[in-house]
A and B are shown apart, each in its own frame.
Chain A
Amino acid sequence: MKINKRAKREAKQLFQLCLVNGLLDENRARQVAQQVASAGTRSTPAVLAHFLRLLSLDLAQHTAAIESATPLSEGLRTAIQAGLARRYGPGLTTTFTHTPALIGGVRIQVGSDVYDSSVRAGLAALEKRF
């Protein structure tokens, strides 16, 4: 589907309507999507597609995937969440995953940002240097 500039601009304006204090209001987003879908104009599919893309990007930017080789203690989880909140602001959704393949350390991904201090990443970097 080809999304023209006008559809992008309208989708962005709709997305701005869904923000409350800089954070996405899911209920409002859902309502906006329903209203746009019910409008049934010719540009509706393109506007909705770009609107969903913006929502996906926002969701990814406000989601932190935290992987660790061993289960983290509650104190460490809280410390990491606080650090991420300070760096990326409030409204960040965090998910903790136990990944033994990391061997040691923690790997954090927020949107396109990746903080990898795992042993596996270190060994991979070392292998790359060879």
Chain B
Amino acid sequence: MNAFLFLAAQDSPGQVEQIARTFGVDWTHLGAQIISFAIVCAVLYKFAYRNVLAMLEERRNQIAQGIANAEKIKAELDRTEAQRQEVMAQAYAQSSKFIEESRAAAARLLEAETQKAVAAAEQIMVKAREAASQDHERMLTELKREVGRMAVQAAMAVSGKILTAEDQRRLAEETAKEIAA
């Protein structure tokens, strides 16, 4: 406005005063108002505006810190998530490994037990065959013994009748010769 008044004064000095009168400008009042306004501004600046600015600065700092914390938390969350994913992957891999090992152990155990069962069955079969063979041999032996006993009894029953006096004498002579030899 001062520049406008200055330009207006350069163009025409009487016109400035005319304009000032037209708008009702009272330089005294204007100066007083300017001073009082400045005082108000100074008081406001000292007692209100500075506090407000400080509070705003504090709020801005808090917000910035909150944003920084949020970013930090987000980064931490991301890192935790990555760690979680890694741990999950490791756990999955480990569990898969355990499962595979368990399957292999179960397969080995099954194979061993199967072989044991087969061996036991073979042994049972062999023992059964041996027992059957022994029974067969025993029965054959008993049969031979029984047949022999019956044959000997039959021979005893008939030989006394078959042997003649000459046979008896010959047998006795053979014994006498054997003793004399």
Q: How large is the interface on A (under 10, 10 to 19, 20 to 34, 35 or more residues)?
A: 20 to 34
**Interface residue A127 (Cβ < 8 Å from any Cβ of B):** yes
Contacts of A104 in B (CB 8 A): 159-160, 163, 167-168, 171
Given the known interface contacts A106-B171, A117-B171, A123-B155, the answer about A80 and B176 at a Cβ–Cβ threshold of 8 Å is yes
Stretch binding the partner chain, chosen from B93-101, B109-117, B141-149: B141-149
Residues B179 and A83 in contact, CB atoms below 8 Å apart: yes
B30 touches A (CB below 8 Å) = no
Residue from B163, B172, B179 within 8 A of A68 (CB atoms): B172
Kindly identify which residue among A73, A105, A126, A130 contacts B171, using a CB–CB cutoff of 8 Å.
Answer: A105
Q: What is the bound-complex CA distance between A105 and B167, given in angstroms?
A: 9
Cross-chain contact B179 with A80 (CB below 8 angstroms): yes
Collect the chain B residues with CB atoms within 8 Å of residue A5's CB: none
Are B159 and A130 neighbours in the complex by a CB distance under 8 Å?
A: no
Asked whether A103 lies within 8 Å of B178 as measured between CB atoms, the reply is no
Residue A115 contacts which of B144, B145, B172, B179 (CB distance < 8 angstroms)?
B179
Contact of B168 with A115 in the complex, beta carbons under 8 Å:
no
Complex Cα gap A91–B40 (Å):
177
**Most A CB atoms within 10 A — which of B155, B175, B180?**
B175
Chain A: minimal CB distance from B100 (Å): 69
- Assess A130 versus B144: contact at CB under 8 Å? Given A76-B172, A103-B163, A123-B155: yes
Number of B residues near A (Cβ < 8 Å) is 26
Residues of B within 8 A of A82 (CB): 180
**Which residues from 60 to 74 on chain A have a C-beta closer than 8 Å to any C-beta of chain B?**
68-70, 72-73
**Judging by beta carbons under 8 Å apart, are A103 and B160 in contact?**
yes
Q: Which residues of B contact A68 (CB under 8 A)?
A: 172
Q: Which residue of A lies closest to B149 (CB)?
A: A127
- Name A97-123 residues within 8 Å CB distance of B: 100, 103-106, 108, 115, 117, 119-120, 123
B7 adjacent to chain A (CB < 8 Å)? no
Q: Does A42 contact B (CB under 8 A)?
A: no
Q: Contact residues of B with A, CB < 8 Å?
A: 144-145, 147-149, 151-152, 155-156, 159-160, 163, 165, 167-169, 171-176, 178-181
| A residues in contact (CB < 8 Å) with B | 68-70, 72-73, 76, 79-80, 82-84, 86-87, 100, 103-106, 108, 115, 117, 119-120, 123-124, 126-127, 129-130
13 of the cross-chain contacts (CB-CB < 8 Å) are A70-B172, A82-B180, A100-B160, A104-B168, A106-B175, A106-B176, A108-B175, A115-B175, A117-B171, A117-B175, A119-B163, A120-B156, A123-B155
